[in-house]
Amino acid sequence: MDKFYLTTAIAYTSAKPHIGNTYEAILADSIARFKRKQGYDVFFQTGTDEHGQKIEEKAKAAGKTPKEYVDEVAAEIKRLWDLVGVSYDKFIRTTDLEHEKQVAKIFEKLYKQGDIYKGSYEGWYCTPCESFWTESQLVDGKCPDCGRPVKKAQEEAYFFKMSKYADRLLKYYEEHPEFILPVARKNEMVNNFLKPGLQDLCVSRSSFKWGIPVGFDAKHVVYVWLDALTNYITGIGYDADGNSTEQFDKLWPADLHVIGKDIIRFHVIYWPIFLMALGLPLPKQVYGHGWLLQDGGKMSKSKGNVIYADDLVEFFGRDAVRYYVLTAMPQSSDGLISWESIIEKVNADLANVLGNLVNRTVAMSNKYFGGKVEDKGAAEDIDNDLKSVVSSAYKKVCDCMKDYSVSDALEEIFTVFRRANKYIDETAPWVLAKDEKNSSRLATVLYNLTESIIIGLSLLYPFMPETAEKGAANFGLPLRDFSDLDKFGGFTETQVKETPEILFARLDQKVVMEKVDKMHAERVAKETPKTEEKKDKPMIDIEDFEKVQLKVAKVVACEKVEKSKKLLKLTVKLGNETRTVVSGIAQHYAPEDLIGKKLVLVANLKPAKLCGIESQGMIVCAENEQGKIAYLTPEQDIEDGSEIF
Ligand code: ME8
C-alpha cells in the first residue's frame, strides 16, 4: 500500500480562526479521506503555529502569559477542526517540547555547517519601545508605535544563505513541473522572486522573547517561519542528529502540503531551501488554494460579521458547511461566501436534489414493495443513460481529484443525483404503479435508483461523511468500496428503512436571516463598551458619600485564585487589622506586581463570597474604554489604615 503524507498549514494562535482558515482544514480532510478510500496509507498532519511577536503582544493585551494565551486558542482551533470533522492523524503545536528541541538543533546544525551566519542589519531604532523598524515602516520618519523620534542603529542577527541554493531550486522546479499547483502560482514565484535573485534571509529575532531560543546565543529567538515550516518534519519524528524515527523514514518526503495562496512563497522557496540544506528530499507537491472572501465586503469584528465555522455548523450542520465551502472555492481563484448563499445552496442542492431524491426513493420502495428493493430484470433502453452516467462518475471524480479540483469533483457527484432525479421523471414510477403488470419494471426502476444513490453517496463520503453514511443507512446498505464504483448492479436486494432519516430540510431564508442578524447584533453589543456604564451617575449628597469608608490598605500577600482566570486573593493590612480581599484584576496584574503596594480599599462593603473565599472589601480601580485597569494609590507614602475622605 503506498503511503500518502499530507499536511495543512499550521494556523496562527493569535485569534480564533474564521471560516477561511477552517476551509483549508476541510479541504485537506476531504483529500485525506479520498486518498484513504483509494487505498493509500494516509498520514494527515495539521496543527498550530504558536510563536512570534504578534502572539506575544496579543497575550499581553489580554493580560495573559503567551503560553496561557496559546493554550486557549490552540484548544479552540482543535475544537473547531473536530467540529467540522477533520480526521487528522497528528495535531502538532509548535510549543510541543519535541518540536522546540528539534528546531533549536536544526538551527545549530545549519549554523555549524555554514548555511546560517551571524551578521547585522541596519534599521531605525525606537529606544522607548525597544523596537527596530525598516525605513518603510516609519510614519513621518517617526516610530509607528509611539510617534517618537527614531535613530539609525544596527542589530546583530543570524542570516540564512538563500542565494546558495537558488539554482538548485530552479532546476527542481524544471524537473518537477507538478511541484507547485496551480501552475500559474509557479510562474509568479520564478519571475518575481527567484529570477531577480534571492536575498539572504534573517532567521533570528532579538526584539521580543516569545520564540524558540537559539541554543548557543540565547539573546535571539528563531524566526517564526523557520520554526513553523519545520513542523512538517518534526511532527513525524525527524531528528537533526540523524536518529529520525522509522515513521519519518516511511513518510518523508511529504506528498502534499495544502496551504493558502498568501504563503506559497514560504513553502516553495524557503522551505525547499531549508530542506536542501538539511540534506532532505523535497515535498512532492504544494497546493496553494485561493481565499474565501465575504460577499459584500470584508469580514470584520466591528461589524460583528466574521463568519466562524461553529456558527455555520450550529445553523446548518457539519456536512452542509463542508459542502458549501468546498463548492464555493473554484480550483484556481478565490471563492465568495455569504449567509444568504449558503441558505440557497442548502435548499437547491442538498434539500432539493439530494435530500429529496433519497426521500422519494425510500418512500416509493415502502409504498409499492413494503420496503424491499431488488432488480427484477425488467431493463429498458431508457436505463442505459442513467447507468452510464453513474458508472462513469467514479473515473470523472478521480480525474478531478488528481489536481484537487474538489468543487469540480462535487459537481460530478451531484450530476449523478440530478440524473437520478431526472430518471424518476422519465420513468414516472407512480404511473407504473397503477398497473400490476408493470410490477417487475417498477421494481427494476427502484433498484436502479437505489444503486445510483449508493454509488453517488459512496463517492460523496470523503466530502460529506456523515451524510453519506446516514443516506446509505436509509437503504439498509453499506457504502461501497471505491474499487467497486465503476460497475452498476452491486447489490442483490435490500430492505429500506420504514421512516428514512431526513438528510436536509428546506430552510426559510427569512427566518434564518433574522436569526443571523440577531446573532450579529448581539455580538456587536457585547464587544461595544456599554453606554449606560459610561453615563454619569446622578448627583448625591455629602451624606451619601460619607456612607462609604475608604482606607489605605497595604498588600502583604497575593496569589491567584485557583480555577479562576480573573480573580486574585489579596491579604491586606489596615493598621493593626488584616483582611482578605478578592479582586477581579488577575488579567491586569500578576500577584508579585501588587505585594508591598498601597491601595485604596472600600472598607465598609458587606463581605461577599467569591469562588468560595470571603472578600472583606473592594479595591478601588480606574478603567478606560478599552478595558485597561489601574489601581489607585496615595500620592505620598502614608500609613496603611489611614482614612480617605
Ligand atoms: O499563515 N480563505 O497561519 P494562518 C482561505 N501560521 N484560506 C485562508 C484565508 C481565507 N480567507 N485566510 C487564511 C499562517 N487562509 C501560518 C502558516 S505553515 C508552516 C504556517 C489560510 O492562521 C492561509 O493561507 O494565518 C493559511 O494557509 C491557513 O489559512 C492558516 O493561516
Q: Which domains does the chain have, with CATH numbers?
A: 338-535 (1.10.730.10), 543-644 (2.40.50.140)
Residues near ligand 1 (Cβ within 6 A)? 9-12, 20-21, 23-24, 49, 228-229, 259-260, 262-263, 291-292
Alpha carbon 538 to its chain's center: 48
Which atom of ligand 1 is least distant from the CA of 21? 29
pLDDT at 252: 98
C-alpha of residue 261 to centroid of ligand 1, in Å? 8
Q: Which ranges of 38-65 would DSSP assign to H, the alpha helix?
A: 53-61
d(CA 447, CA 76): 46
d(CA 400, CA 403): 6
C-alpha of residue 98 to centroid of ligand 1, in Å? 24
C-alpha of residue 219 to centroid of ligand 1, in Å? 29
pLDDT at 193: 85
Residue with the smallest CA separation from ligand 1 atom 18 is: 9
**Amino acid present at 7:** T
Write the CB contacts of 620 (distance below 8 Å, at least 6 apart in sequence): 550, 599, 600, 601, 602, 631, 632
Task: Name the stretches of the chain with pLDDT < 50.
Answer: 531-532
C-alpha of residue 398 to centroid of ligand 1, in Å? 27
C-alpha of residue 11 to centroid of ligand 1, in Å? 6
128 — phi, psi (to 5°)? -60, -35
Pocket test for ligand 1, best of 8, 257, 262, 325 (most atoms within 8 A of CB): 262
Which atom of ligand 1 is least distant from the CA of 12? 22
C-alpha of residue 186 to centroid of ligand 1, in Å? 19
Q: Please choose, from the candidates 254, 267, 284, 244, the residue with its C-alpha nearest in 3D space to the C-alpha of residue 3.
A: 254
Residue with the smallest CA separation from ligand 1 atom 22 is: 11
C-alpha of residue 66 to centroid of ligand 1, in Å? 21
pLDDT at 97: 98
DSSP 213: B
Buried b (16+ CB within 10 A) or exposed e, 308-317: bbbbbbebbb
Angle between helices 309-316 and 19-37 (to 10 degrees): 70
Paired sense of beta strands 577-583 and 568-574, if any: antiparallel
C-alpha grid cell, residue 74? 490552540
C-alpha of residue 293 to centroid of ligand 1, in Å? 13
C-alpha of residue 228 to centroid of ligand 1, in Å? 12
Which atom of ligand 1 is least distant from the CA of 335? 2
Pocket test for ligand 1, best of 12, 222, 263, 331 (most atoms within 8 A of CB): 263
Residue with the smallest CA separation from ligand 1 atom 10 is: 20
Write the CB contacts of 155 (distance below 8 Å, at least 6 apart in sequence): 120, 121, 123, 125, 132, 206, 207
Residue with the smallest CA separation from ligand 1 atom 11 is: 20
Residue with the smallest CA separation from ligand 1 atom 9 is: 20
Which atom of ligand 1 is least distant from the CA of 263? 24
pLDDT at 304: 62
Distances (CA, A) of 554 to 96, 145, 470, 597: 41, 35, 65, 6
Residue with the smallest CA separation from ligand 1 atom 15 is: 21
Dihedral sign from CA coordinates of 126, 131, 132, 133: negative
Alpha carbon 401 to its chain's center: 23
C-alpha grid cell, residue 246? 522509522
C-alpha of residue 71 to centroid of ligand 1, in Å? 19
pLDDT at 132: 73
Residue with the smallest CA separation from ligand 1 atom 23 is: 260
Which pTM does this prediction carry? 0.81
C-alpha of residue 10 to centroid of ligand 1, in Å? 8
